[in-house]
Homo-oligomer: A and B are copies of this chain.
Amino acid sequence: MTYCLAMSLDQGLVFASDSRTNAGVDHVSTFRKMRVWEKPGDRVLVMLSAGNLAVTQFVSTLLDQGTKSDDPKKNILLAETMFDAARVVGSYVREVHGHDAKHLKEHGADFALSLIFGGQIKGEAPRLFMIYAAGNFIECGEDSPFIQIGETKYGKPILDRVVTRKLDLMPATKCALLSLNSTVRSNLTVGLPIDLLVYHKDEFKVGLHHTIGEDDPYFQKLGQMWGEGLRNLFQVLPDPPWGGEV
């Protein structure tokens, strides 16, 4: 399983992904689910992927190979807008579907894929998309400051409570890590290391790009303080008043 999330905020974009891949309990591996394409001064593009690993790797390899093409319909580094770049990604998703879906079906496997694709291209604001297995996509709107893919539910309550477009990038990054912390705790198939990328609006270069392993002191401390804080908060909340009826 996988858990990836991205936030679209007034100050920029935050991306975070786990790196646990599993195919049955005896086959749990670590694969990166974040890909970054950067052309300093012009664009930063980030893709997070969930689903069948063979499928998502195929798509990202086609995207990499496409960066050598002169055709803006094949090369995300030449696309004029984020919308056009998302269309390039969607077209590669369809190419892989045409190549693999029938064969996967013969083996009882789904063509499972979902992507978060975001970044900024000079001339427009940062934008964030969710791309589906059908190659179509939606854009993150004003009212939906975050997108999640994969094992999304455990880590959603904290996002629902805290994330608005006005949240600064570092608190937003903290919130993304807490969302991952809750997911990792509740689902063994989501695991460290976590890839983290922060993009500051209008900088057209990768801001923070950090990999968080098991021994990362900040992530450890954050998880510990959050857990203790939750238990303390739980304890100070009043017990139900109906006990007397028993």
Q: How far is the CA of A227 from the CA of B177 in the complex (A)?
A: 19
Whether A156 is near chain B, meaning CB under 8 Å from some CB there, is: yes
Which residues from B are CB-within-8-Å of A23? none
Specify which chain B residues have a CB less than 8 angstroms from the CB of A161 in the assembled complex. Answer: 185, 227, 230-231, 234
| Chain A 138-173 near chain B by CB (<8 Å), digits 1 or 0 | 000000000000000110111011100000011101
Give a binary string over A3-18; 1 marks a CB under 8 Å from any B CB, 0 the rest: 0000000000000000
* A238 proximity list for chain B (CB < 8 A): 174, 218, 221-222, 225
User: How many A residues face the partner with a CB closer than 8 A?
Assistant: 46
Chain B residues near A231 (CB-CB < 8 A)? 161-162
Partner of A153, one of B173, B186, B234, B239: B186
The answer to whether A241 and B218 touch across the interface, beta carbons within 8 angstroms, is yes
Closest residue of B by beta carbon distance from A156: B186
The answer on a CB contact under 8 Å between A158 and B242 is no
Q: Assuming the A-B contacts A154-B153, A185-B160, A186-B156, are A174 and B210 also in contact, with contact meaning beta carbons closer than 8 angstroms in the complex?
A: no
Report the minimum CB–CB distance from A32 to chain B (whole Å). 18
Query: In the bound complex, do residue A239 and residue B170 qualify as a contact, i.e. CB atoms below 8 Å apart?
Result: yes
Q: Give the 7 A-B residue pairs with the shortest CB-CB distance, closest first.
A: A153-B153, A229-B233, A170-B239, A207-B246, A157-B182, A156-B186, A170-B243
Instruction: Show 17 A/B contacts (Cβ-Cβ < 8 Å), sorted by A.
Output: A154-B154, A161-B185, A161-B227, A161-B230, A162-B231, A162-B234, A170-B240, A171-B234, A171-B235, A171-B239, A198-B246, A210-B245, A222-B238, A226-B237, A229-B233, A229-B236, A230-B233
Q: Which residues of A contact B (CB under 8 A)?
A: 153-154, 156-158, 160-162, 169-171, 173-175, 177-178, 182, 185-186, 198, 200, 207-208, 210, 218, 221-222, 225-227, 229-231, 233-243, 245-246
